[in-house]
Amino acid sequence: MYYSKPKTTKPKTTKKKTANKKPSKKKPNMNDKLKEHAKHHSANHIRMMKKDIKAGMSFTKAHNKAKKMVGN
């Protein structure tokens, strides 16, 4: 009579999900990019973009969100 070995299972590791990215500081060239961008868009648009970028959002995503919420 043969006995089978009990199967060993690895404990599952759980990763903690973070709600938002860490707030990031604007990079020096980001200021130049925003200045150039401000020529074509309203102050509200730029203000919203700066807030989103500071919260960790990319330039493009912040721009698209600002277009939807504020307009040009």
What was the pLDDT predicted at 72?
81
Task: Report domain extents, the chain.
Answer: 38-69
Give the tens place of pLDDT for each residue, 21-72.
666 665 668 888 899 999 999 999 999 999 999 999 999 999 999 999 998 8
Q: Tell me how far the alpha carbon of residue 4 is from its chain's centroid.
A: 50
Res 18 pLDDT > 60: no
Picking from 26, 28, 19, 22, the residue whose alpha carbon sits closest to that of residue 59 is 26
Could you report how far apart the first and last alpha carbons of the chain are, in Å? 79
* Helix or strand holding residue 45 (H, E): helix 43-54
Report if pTM > 0.85: no
